[in-house]
Amino acid sequence: MNYIAIGNNSTIAISDIPEIVYDDFFKLNTELVANHPERHCVNYFGYNYGERIKLICCIADDNSHEIFVSSCLVSPTDTLKAFTSKLLCFEKFEREIHENFGIGFSGHPWLKPVRYSFNRNDKTKTIANYPFFKIESEELHEVGVGPIHAGVIEPGHFRFICNGEQILHLEIQLGYQHRGIEQLFIEKKRLLERTTLAESIAGDTVIGHTTAFSNIWESLCEFERTRDIDFSRTLALELERIAIHTGDLSAVCTDIAYQLGSSVFGRLRTPIINFMQEWGGNRLSKGFVRPGRNQFPFTPELGKRLALVLDAFERDFDEMNTELFKLPSALSRFERTGVVPSADILSIGAVGMAARMSKLNRDIRQSHPFGLYPELQHQPIIKHHGDVYSRVQIRKEEVKQSIGYVRKLIKNIPEPNTKPFKLKTPNPNSFTLSLVEGWRGEICHCAITDSKGELILYKIKDPSFHNWLALALAVRNNEISDFPICNKSFNLSYCGHDL
């Protein structure tokens, strides 16, 4: 076999990953994904391997619950045939490899910088000379938005090509938030430092990213998670989903100038994050997930409190949703706005909510379950229209679903494990991959250790990495004044992309 099939959160020796020549590597991975909607690339990256570059490609199969990992050694001066020439979903990954190592890709239509990493290959490419797609036309005009946001969120530059009010093309340039997170993971040697780093990958997905990191670390150290650890993480992940989805509903209402929805949903987010404060001491869940232990055991008293919080929450949440989804002026803004057809979603390899809003079933909780999800028998919520309405509906229904899961989980609270924990040093020469379904979608972390068990590579992929392109496609042929609501309905992360 040309690849090795592994499960989510499993550790293998790096030597177990078959190393094949590039032509076979190309054929293998493109054939794995082509015409298989249940498979997609969860990560494809390179790292320095002596003088050469080792490429590792991980394809997840949702039906068999496996991840197919293969590798290939190439030289930085090579020009390779781009996967993208066959399948668009590899586009961003190949751009990243090109940016970091200078490997050329023939047949790639859009080999532009991704995030201007500090250790990139070609330092002459800077954020100031990004090669924007240009038009030569008297009738069309360009509108540049950002990088400084009109509100208080993160920086990114959006360049629209418009015909009057209609958007013909949007190009999104990111990289302003690059902090060198992946490099810092290798430089910072203490576990606590690394955990706090994981918490800072994307401030709105603290539990998601930290869970991915902890799962990887525990897998590398061969630590058997006790039930109470998995319980806390699963519960916290669902609470994070409820909180952020509710906040997003509020933001969508703000963007259509529906004040009632904006303030009611905004208020509803608060009790949930306040509960996180009660439980873990921080509203944004920082300091909550720690590898190898259950920092804040969930007590039956907390369970009672949470049940009360959710009862009060759900009543108002339902009432507000009834109001919102019968309001004609709101529906006329949601429906048929920012449509991404499911064929496009599939071809660009969108993940998480952005995939599920357009008929594509991609949910790690079902396909590669972790934590207590195998017991919950998660059934993803799928919508079919791919418009803002679908994305808003998904949020509404996922919140309801998550409330159901939380209620189910707190019926059976496991005893906290009081045994003192001891984490071994990570296995040497190993490869680990962890998939977590954060509220935004699939989070993929990969780690590789050297002969002493030290990290030599830590690779992070936030769902935003794929999904920004979905936003660019969504706004085509829409009015430029509908851009904010399209953007908010995806709510993608800048820092999660820029790392």
Partner 1 sequence: MLSLLLILVAALFFTGIIIRTKSLASGRKGPGIIQPIKDVIRLFKKGSVYSQTTSIIFQIAPTIYFASVVMAMLVIPFGQSKGIISFNGDFIFFAYVLALGKFFSIISALDTGSSFEGMGASREALYSMFAEPAFFILMGSLALLTGYTSFHEIFAALHVGSYISYAITVLATFVLVMVAMIENSRMPIDDPKTHLELTMVHEVMILDNSGFDLGLILTAGFMKFAIYGALVVNLFIGMVRYEYAIPMFFAIQFLMAVSIGLIESFMARFRMSHNAQFIVALTSVSLLIFFAVLLILGKFA
Q: Does 327 bind partner 1 (CB under 8 A)?
A: yes
Residues that contact partner 1, how many (by CB under 8 A): 32
Q: Are 286 and 199 in contact (CB under 8 A)?
A: yes
Q: Which of 135, 257, 312, 343 binds partner 1 (CB under 8 A)?
A: 257
Q: Does 223 bind partner 1 (CB under 8 A)?
A: no
Of 236 and 252, nearer to partner 1 (C-beta) is 252
Instruction: Name the strands in the sheet holding 166-173, side by side, starting at the edge strand that comes first in the sequence.
Output: 141-145, 157-163, 166-173
Q: Which of 34, 260, 308, 312 binds partner 1 (CB under 8 A)?
A: 260
The least distance separating partner 1 from the CB of residue 318, rounded to whole angstroms, comes to 18
Q: Does 151 bind partner 1 (CB under 8 A)?
A: yes
Of 1 and 150, nearer to partner 1 (C-beta) is 150
Q: Does 343 bind partner 1 (CB under 8 A)?
A: no
Q: Which of 91, 96, 154, 482 binds partner 1 (CB under 8 A)?
A: 482
CA–CA gap between residue 420 and residue 371 (Å, rounded)? 21
Q: Are 142 and 162 in contact (CB under 8 A)?
A: yes
Q: Does 258 bind partner 1 (CB under 8 A)?
A: yes
Of 248 and 255, nearer to partner 1 (C-beta) is 255
Q: Which of 71, 117, 177, 262 binds partner 1 (CB under 8 A)?
A: 262
CA–CA gap between residue 395 and residue 353 (Å, rounded)? 8
- Footprint (CB under 8 A) of partner 1, residues 461-480: 479-480
| CA-atom Rg of the chain in angstroms | 22
Of 164 and 281, nearer to partner 1 (C-beta) is 164
The least distance separating partner 1 from the CB of residue 476, rounded to whole angstroms, comes to 15
Stretch that binds partner 1, among 13-21, 288-296, 305-313, 330-338 (CB under 8 A): 330-338
Pick from 176, 168, 160, 174: which is nearest to 112 by CA? 174
Of 221 and 256, nearer to partner 1 (C-beta) is 256
Stretch that binds partner 1, among 83-91, 251-259, 268-276, 410-418 (CB under 8 A): 251-259
Of 159 and 233, nearer to partner 1 (C-beta) is 159
Q: Does 387 bind partner 1 (CB under 8 A)?
A: no
The least distance separating partner 1 from the CB of residue 232, rounded to whole angstroms, comes to 34
Of 258 and 439, nearer to partner 1 (C-beta) is 258
The least distance separating partner 1 from the CB of residue 142, rounded to whole angstroms, comes to 7
Residue carrying structure tokens 């293969």: 70
Strands 141-145 and 430-437, by their bridges, are unpaired
Q: Does 256 bind partner 1 (CB under 8 A)?
A: yes
CA–CA gap between residue 138 and residue 164 (Å, rounded)? 12
Of 267 and 384, nearer to partner 1 (C-beta) is 267
**Residues 131-150, mask of contacts with partner 1 (x by CB under 8 A):** ----------xxxxx----x
- Contact residues: partner 1, CB under 8 A: 141-145, 150-151, 164-165, 253, 255-260, 262-264, 267, 327, 329-330, 332-333, 337, 479-484
